[in-house]
Structure 1
Amino acid sequence: MGGKNTRIRVVSSREEISKLNPNERLVHLAFRPSNKDIFSLVENCPRIEVIQLPRSYMATVSKSIEMFLEMQRIQLLEGEVWGHRKDINDYYSIPTSVIEDIKEMKTEGKATEEIQHAVAKENRLNPVMVAYIMAKETIA
């Protein structure tokens, strides 16, 4: 991913799942998904690594789906795409400022966990999402 900003594919309805690019790795579901929706998503996007859901939908995810995703090595994260307008763009790009903050803190010698929590709090991101960004971006 290095060079390009990390982008989250925002999916606002189950009808969109079948139309997704099969190479999607990071998907935010802006609707309450059923088990069938999650299975369809994984089937249509075999390279998926992260599924993000708003907090209100996380509680409705079944244990069997959590176990299925764990076995597929797919992270299920709680999170929002603040201020994203789906009518303008299908993707939410992680702001460049987030990457710059991470680089700056790394240069200062801060611990990975400290960076994750500081960046997450400041940018309203899940710390696990920050960890994902740190792992995927080429951050020296």
Structure 2
Amino acid sequence: MKIRVVSSREEINELNPNEKVIHLAFRPSNKDIFNLVQTCTKVEVIQIPSSYRRTVSKSIEMFMQMQNIKLVEGDVWGHRKDINEYYSISPAIIEKIKEMKADGRSDAEIADKIEREGKLNREMIFYILGKQK
């Protein structure tokens, strides 16, 4: 699974319209999020760092809810944007999630284990779990 990393508002208009998971590495304004949703019509998840999450307005949260877009907190640990514009979640982590799900573990148990081992935040793990159904 790939997460498109966007490090400035100037990049939004150049994004592929088919992007589904996007990490904003800058503090987005309401206008930035509207532009992102218009540019990437298939977006399902927008991830932003915890420190920026608290500054997102209630109106944008409601807008995203109406558009069925999840807003999640999180970082892309150790990612170098100058090398690759995508952060990849290891196929091994995705496979481990599938195996644990097949073993009958609860979503919360899976999230606890993967959060510790995979450097992914809970909300992103729950998104991945939702895609496995």
TM-score (norm 1): 0.88
Q: Which residue does 1:82 correspond to in 2?
A: 77
Alpha-carbon shift at residue 100 of structure 1 (Å): 2.8
Structure 2 SS opposite 1:23: coil
Pair 1:95-2:90 in alignment: yes
Structure 2 SS opposite 1:80: coil
Q: Structure 1 vs Structure 2: percent identity of aligned residues?
A: 62
Alpha-carbon shift at residue 17 of structure 1 (Å): 0.0
Question: Which 10-residue stretch deviates more, 91-100 or 61-70?
Answer: 91-100
- Give distance in 1, aligned partners of 2:104 and 2:63: 37
Alpha-carbon shift at residue 113 of structure 1 (Å): 2.2
Q: Which residue does 2:101 correspond to in 1?
A: 106
Alpha-carbon shift at residue 97 of structure 1 (Å): 2.4
Alpha-carbon shift at residue 128 of structure 1 (Å): 2.0
Q: Which has the higher contact order (CA 8 A, sep 6+)?
A: 1
Pair 1:20-2:41 in alignment: no
- Give distance in 1, aligned partners of 2:75 and 2:61: 19
Pair 1:71-2:63 in alignment: no
Of 3, 8, 15, 1:8 maps to 3
Alpha-carbon shift at residue 86 of structure 1 (Å): 0.3
Equivalent pairs, count: 133
Cα displacement string for residues 42-67 of structure 1 (whole angstroms, at most 9, x for unaligned residues): 00011100000001100110111111
Name structure 1 gaps, 5 residues minimum: 1-5
Calculate the aligned-residue CA RMSD, in Å.
1.5
Name structure 2 gaps, 5 residues minimum: none
TM-score (norm 2): 0.92
Of 118, 125, 133, 1:130 maps to 125
Maintained 8 Å contact 2:98/2:132 = no
